[in-house]
């Protein structure tokens, strides 16, 4: 088992570049099953979740090589008529995205319940809705999901919820379906856009990319493509929070500032500011973080919503930043009922937080934090704890960092390069 040992209370400086978008990489890897031609993906993060997805696909007959740093070339040849490995599939949430491509190629798929972060119930109803709408027969058992079809057919689908993976499932299944598909109430996050644009490069016909209505004209086959993933905007938001709480000046390179307009609004409620410089974001040093009261002195609220709302994956970061801002703020996590269950770790470090219920926490800052021995419960909470440790006084030890490694590539090396006192050790 490995851990991070962190000496907190240091200011950082310099430039840092976000990795490729984890949530783009995982569905794009599944897209390799839709063609027998080479698919080249660039800016792919080297993280545990990507490695697990590669293992699953390799067992399905996908050949991989790495012609360059963070570059994957993959080719799906003849596919074995076998179920994906259950143990591998249970490691990651997006194993469910094999369903659409395997149905399109083989007409049959059997998958176990997927893994992923334990942040509350994450039902798969939307996935079953779209597969059934496209002509698949779906059987649900206590441990497996099985679907069959004699040919997927286009449909007009209104999604029960604006689910990211549900939308991706619908897109992956519909691009080779017979006829036209309209997906309404679709998710439109940057990684959904990446998937659609890559598929268009492979010959798919998709209109409405970036909106909540996608129109897909099914094609008989797809070719290969060469596609570059966008930056991970969750990493960008994490680095914004890190710079703010440590009083550091950081330049986040290739950050795509246009993707962070809502983050600017949410973090702005805590007094965080930055400047856009072309495609970079520059956070000034020594910011005085102060909660910005609402009209008539009302306590402000930071809440999450589907894109272009404030991302749920940044709620843990926002809560950590709030501990370092003078004043009181309500953090309202609407989408997942266990996302906030890591706050006890921040309280152990000295934060003043009242967890009202599974969805709401009141944070009263500024609270000086001190080093502590901690455990990372999931990817995003792990990063939030890491940020808290970097601004705390004294030494912190974070164990179970495999959770952080699932989503952040070489994070300790990149943070050390801008002055963080962090090292990886074996316990």
Q: Which residues are catalytic?
A: 117
End-to-end CA distance of the chain: 6
The one-character DSSP state at 336 is -
Q: Which residues pair with 66 in a beta bridge?
A: none
Cα–Cα distance between 234 and 241 in angstroms, integer? 11
**H or E stretch covering 166:** helix 164-174
Please enumerate, as own/partner, the contacts of 394-397 that have beta carbons within 8 Å and a separation of 24 or more: 394/7, 394/8, 394/9, 394/370, 395/5, 395/6, 395/7, 395/8, 395/371, 396/4, 396/5, 396/6, 396/8, 396/349, 396/371, 396/372, 397/3, 397/4, 397/5, 397/6, 397/373
Residue-wise over 295-316: b if at least 16 C-beta within 10 A, else e? eeeeebebbbebbeebbbbbbb
- Cβ atoms of 59 and 127 closer than 8 Å: no
* HSE-CB for 36 with a 13 A CA cutoff: 7
Cα–Cα distance between 427 and 1 in angstroms, integer? 6
Cα–Cα distance between 413 and 16 in angstroms, integer? 11
- Cβ atoms of 15 and 251 closer than 8 Å: yes
* Structure-block tokens of residue 24: 């783009």
Cα–Cα distance between 47 and 232 in angstroms, integer? 12
């Amino acid at each position: 088992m490995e851990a991070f040992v962190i000496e907190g209370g240091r200011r950082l400086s310099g430039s840092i570049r976000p990795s490729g978008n984890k949530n783009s990489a995982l569905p794009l890897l599944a897209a390799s099953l839709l063609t027998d031609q080479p698919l080249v993906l660039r800016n792919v993060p080297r993280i545990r979740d990507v490695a697990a997805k590669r293992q699953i696909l390799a067992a399905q007959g996908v050949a991989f090589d790495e012609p360059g740093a963070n570059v994957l070339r993959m080719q799906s040849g003849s596919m074995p008529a076998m179920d994906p490995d259950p143990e591998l599939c249970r490691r990651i949430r997006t194993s469910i995205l094999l369903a659409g491509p395997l149905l399109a190629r083989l007409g049959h798929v059997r998958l176990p319940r997927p893994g992923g972060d334990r942040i509350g119930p994450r039902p798969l109803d939307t996935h079953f809705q779209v597969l059934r709408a496209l002509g698949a027969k779906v059987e649900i058992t206590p441990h497996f999901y099985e679907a069959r079809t004699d040919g997927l057919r286009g449909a007009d689908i209104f999604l029960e919820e604006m689910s990211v993976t549900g939308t991706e499932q619908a897109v992956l299944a519909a691009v080779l379906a017979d006829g036209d598909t309209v997906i309404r109430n679709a998710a439109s996050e940057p990684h959904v856009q990446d998937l659609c644009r890559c598929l268009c490069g492979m010959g798919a016909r998709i209109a409405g990319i970036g909106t909540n209505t996608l129109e897909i004209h099914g094609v008989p086959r797809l070719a290969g493509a060469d596609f570059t993933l966008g930056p991970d905007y969750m990493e960008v938001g994490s680095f914004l929070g890190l710079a703010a709480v440590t009083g550091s000046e950081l330049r986040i390179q290739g950050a795509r500032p246009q993707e962070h307009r809502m983050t600017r609004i949410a973090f702005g409620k805590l007094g965080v500011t930055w400047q856009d410089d072309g495609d970079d974001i520059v956070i000034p040093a020594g910011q005085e973080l102060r909660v910005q009261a609402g009209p008539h002195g009302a306590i402000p609220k930071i809440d999450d919503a589907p894109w272009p709302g404030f991302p749920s994956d940044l709620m843990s970061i926002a809560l950590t930043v709030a501990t370092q801002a003078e004043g009181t703020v309500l953090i309202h996590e609407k989408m997942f009922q266990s996302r906030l269950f890591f706050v006890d770790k921040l309280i152990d470090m000295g934060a003043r937080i009242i967890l009202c219920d599974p969805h709401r926490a009141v944070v009263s800052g500024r609270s000086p934090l001190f080093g502590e021995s901690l455990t990372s419960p999931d990817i995003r909470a792990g990063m939030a704890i890491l940020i808290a440790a970097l601004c705390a006084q004294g030494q912190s030890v974070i164990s179970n960092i495999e959770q952080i490694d699932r989503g952040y590539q070489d994070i300790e090396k990149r943070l050390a390069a801008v002055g963080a006192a962090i090292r990886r050790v074996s316990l």
